[in-house]
Amino acid sequence: MSRPWSATAGRRVATVRRASDDRAASLGGRSWWVPWAVMAVVIVASLWIGAGAPGATGVGLSRLTSGAPVVRPATPSARISHLESELRCPSCADLSVSQSTEPSALAIRSYVVHAVQRGATDSAIVGFLESRYGPSILMAPKATGPGAAIWWVPAIAVVGAVSAAVLLFRRRAASAPAKVPSDGDRELVRDAMAGWDGRR
């Protein structure tokens, strides 16, 4: 003889409630922040690795212009390619000189080739071009001076947004009504189940 449906359902409800209570206890305890911490670590690691990868324009240039150690390409032609990818075509919207065939980009390419052949350092080459065209000649803004704002403003915005979201969720959770069913709730469920059993 099979068990009445209501008994099975009741057991299922009880099981789900127990699991839910366990999860709630776990999240309400000290381990709630673990998934967030893992996510933060993954994001930071991805950004760090991505920005430091060979050919990553932003970090390459910020290193180049901030004076921090740069892993120099081995050959002069690799240096030339690297520099050309980090310098903006002056008369284009958003292309590097390596991507453009505008006369101004060709002139800069020619200058870079001759300067590298002369033995000029990367920072000397970039510094000269910056003295002629201004900081906008760099594909990525400098990590120093006023241009650094473009790096730290988004970081502050992200941290602020995440903090605000955490505060908001916590406040909502605190002000939410208790999840323990009242006697009235229990009575309603009991009546509903009794009605269901009666129909079967």
CA separation, residue 10 to residues 2, 15, 19, 138, 198 (Å): 15, 9, 14, 68, 16
Which candidate, 93, 88, 104, places its Cα nearest to that of 136?
A: 88
CB of 88 to another protein, least distance (A): 10
Which stretches of the chain bind another protein, using CB under 8 A? 90-91, 102-104, 106-108, 110-111, 129-134
Contact 96, 88 (CB under 8 A): yes
Give 103 or 181: the residue with its C-beta nearer to another protein. Answer: 103
CB of 145 to another protein, least distance (A): 14
Give 145 or 160: the residue with its C-beta nearer to another protein. Answer: 145
Give 80 or 108: the residue with its C-beta nearer to another protein. Answer: 108
Give 35 or 127: the residue with its C-beta nearer to another protein. Answer: 127
Give 134 or 154: the residue with its C-beta nearer to another protein. Answer: 134
Phi and psi at residue 72, in whole multiples of 5°?
Answer: -80, 140
Question: What's the per-residue H, E or C state across 6-39?
Answer: HHHHHHHHHHHHHHHHHHHHHHHCHHHHHHHHHH
**CA 89/CA 107 separation, integer angstroms:** 10
CB of 132 to another protein, least distance (A): 4
CB of 148 to another protein, least distance (A): 19
**CA 192/CA 186 separation, integer angstroms:** 10
**CA 87/CA 98 separation, integer angstroms:** 8
CB of 108 to another protein, least distance (A): 6
